[in-house]
Structure 1
């Protein structure tokens, strides 16, 4: 094959516009390069609901099999099902064709190797890109086979292993799949749980008639909020398109910041695993540390990003890892992120405590109020961060640079970091029980970002 330039490889995955950056030729080359780089004999493949995903998957499978690998094709699925298939079936790797919450004209791939270990820029993704660009592939002795396999029943059984269904009360739960793929998992779990599901935007539809599902954006939350209120539901759950992230709403339709969900899940796991370690990101952390210490566990800080969290969890043998961006990772799920285990655990915790979701988080929100992530488009992020550090240094009790800049002051702290993919600065502030202080410092910092952005 002729050499080409491929521009859709990112730090952790493949993501680009179709067909200008990602097309059948690129997908085929990725398949060839993936097998050659890993020496893979068997690979699990699946895809999300996007209209371009099936065709790209077919081209990918052609590349994998031309390279001599056998493919277990699990069809339309979520990223977590490819992770599950890879470790459950004990194969050499897995690839999910998905662009998660990107715009309609995008698609991509998430790649893992044996044991569902992530393949990112520093663990092979750049090598696969270089091989795909060169197109100088070794001819396989024979073409691989394709087996279409339904692993969903096994996956549903695995999910149910994280809770005791008989402990769950007959709650009323709004579930909003955003016309992505999560609905199929809800349907599979429904007969096993004493839960009444109110299904919103439930059917998978790659046209995304209600917009790309990405509930981290406030404008994408209203349908879930309305359904919770209209049905007098106990809680609401919404997912992104490939459902590796899930988002929570309490019985009043109030959105629960991902930070407090991390704390809830840390608590749930430490109840079941006394003395265990939990991993968290550095953006907001006081609540998680407080919960872990009071439960007799240990909170471990890691740089933000799935590759870093997974690596640290493996190193520490941590039972759980959480990011405030609604990514949750589980040791018993090969340290991978999953969008269904979190809500199962939360529903179980609500049932055992006989408490509403708002009651479970109210005390934590009061103890450690936070700003939520505040994003600003800026010019020179590095220069702005330098000036902010200089401004607060005289009063700082601690300065950390695990991920961006974290500074701890008297009664409050903040983290400010620049995005690795766009010209955006992300700011998070929390205080020790003082909402007014947190709000004042949020406005102060936003003002400084604006002032220094020249």
Structure 2
């Protein structure tokens, strides 16, 4: 089969122009139309300098195939998912590279109902059709109809925020100069918040660095603004804002793992007995919280396509990954970067407790390492070696990579889908020093097998 470097397991991502360019985008538009026969497709883009040209080329391919193309303009992946839920829309594509380096771009594709197009649901077919084509896009503007569903999305989102009659919160919002600003501007008049805006203007040159709050060096601006403005909490997003990251009232970054438990508990109060889907990297806190709230915890392989598929199968109300992807049944089982912080605000208001108090007990009960990455010569070989060293006295699970569980600590070690990188997560039952010791021990074991620090982009 013909292949292209930019086609990954769940989406399209690559350097511009050598791995992804207007020719590929145009051919993908032709391929999407041929493979799925849509009548109407919505297109959106992030703020990267190459995004508009890629969107136009994609639109040319669709329009030439007889597809009506809706141009959503600058927006986030969440808004593309929302568009795909609208009557008569048969598919939607967001042109975005999210948190990847500045010379990258990519695309996230869904069908009507926001059902993801991934490796086993058509993406490989699109890759083959795109790779085998030699067609080149025409000049000029493609036939597109400007469209926006933002007003309707704002009406949907505001239902999850605190009532205007309740306490008014001060919240720091940091889109990282990505795509979240325009939607926040539309939301702001509808919310009982005073927003402190940091790195707010969309700017494809990313003057303050690529928006990726998972990197500790990218957290200072949000943290400092929370402290400076005496805010109730802070929120930061990645470039296409399908992930959001929370900071408590002290400016402390909260690991996404604990937010999963927080949101699960809140949603189970509304829907007792519901199912909650989680990934295998860190699990004990989520399972404990869900069980205590009379819910059912269901483990799924990591990755949005797997989580969404499992949620549909289980009719789960919510799914969460420690990487700050949060999925909601009421949002077509899609990940949203807006619903989590609105729900967190509601919890703060209704409980009368600051965010730090809402999570600190859980952090103490299940201290975790956070995800640690190491490049290795060969992912499979190193995982096999670690399994050989650790599996004898523990319970092994291979849902996603290698998980080994003991009475008082556990770890998950899995490979990246796209590069020779191992990702390690360790947690314990209420013993931070044990967690840190085991983390150091595992990192030393990985180093013996050639593991090295991941070079910064």
TM-score, structure 2 length as denominator? 0.95
Partner of 2:307: 309
The 1-side partners of 2:166 and 2:80 are apart by 28
How many equivalent residue pairs? 445
Counterpart among 352, 365, 368 of residue 367 in structure 1: 365
2:3–2:128 contact (8 Å) kept in structure 1: no
Counterpart among 23, 26, 48 of residue 24 in structure 2: 26
Q: For residue 166 of structure 1, give the secondary structure of its aligned residue in structure 2.
A: coil
1:165–1:192 contact (8 Å) kept in structure 2: no
The 1-side partners of 2:391 and 2:330 are apart by 42
Partner of 2:316: 318
Counterpart among 188, 208, 213 of residue 210 in structure 1: 208
Q: CA deviation at 1:374?
A: 1.1
Tell me if 1:418 matches 2:415: yes
Partner of 2:434: 437
**Further displaced range: 159-168 or 39-48:** 159-168
The 1-side partners of 2:19 and 2:209 are apart by 23
Q: CA deviation at 1:175?
A: 0.5
Counterpart among 327, 347, 359 of residue 329 in structure 1: 327
2:162–2:345 contact (8 Å) kept in structure 1: no
Partner of 2:78: 80
Taking the TM superposition and a 5 Å limit, the aligned residue runs for 1:72-111 are 72-111=70-109
Q: CA deviation at 1:5?
A: 6.2
2:416–2:423 contact (8 Å) kept in structure 1: yes
Partner of 2:288: 290
Superposed CA RMSD in Å reads 1.6
Cα deviation digits, residues 262-318 of structure 1 (max 9, x gap): 011101110111111010000001111111111111010000000000000000000
The 2-side partners of 1:25 and 1:382 are apart by 35
Tell me if 1:270 matches 2:268: yes
Q: For residue 129 of structure 2, give the secondary structure of its aligned residue in structure 1.
A: helix
Q: CA deviation at 1:376?
A: 1.0
Q: For residue 294 of structure 2, give the secondary structure of its aligned residue in structure 1.
A: coil
Q: CA deviation at 1:6?
A: 3.4
The 1-side partners of 2:414 and 2:171 are apart by 35
Cα deviation digits, residues 171-192 of structure 1 (max 9, x gap): 1111101000111121111111
The 1-side partners of 2:208 and 2:234 are apart by 17
Listed as ranges, the gaps of 5+ residues in structure 1 are: 138-143
Cα deviation digits, residues 361-397 of structure 1 (max 9, x gap): 011001111111111111122222222212222321x
Q: CA deviation at 1:108?
A: 0.9
Partner of 1:248: 246
1:236–1:253 contact (8 Å) kept in structure 2: yes
Listed as ranges, the gaps of 5+ residues in structure 2 are: 136-141, 452-457
Q: For residue 399 of structure 1, give the secondary structure of its aligned residue in structure 2.
A: strand
Partner of 2:120: 122
Q: CA deviation at 1:453?
A: 2.6
1:12–1:121 contact (8 Å) kept in structure 2: yes
Tell me if 1:390 matches 2:388: yes
Counterpart among 409, 413, 416 of residue 406 in structure 2: 409
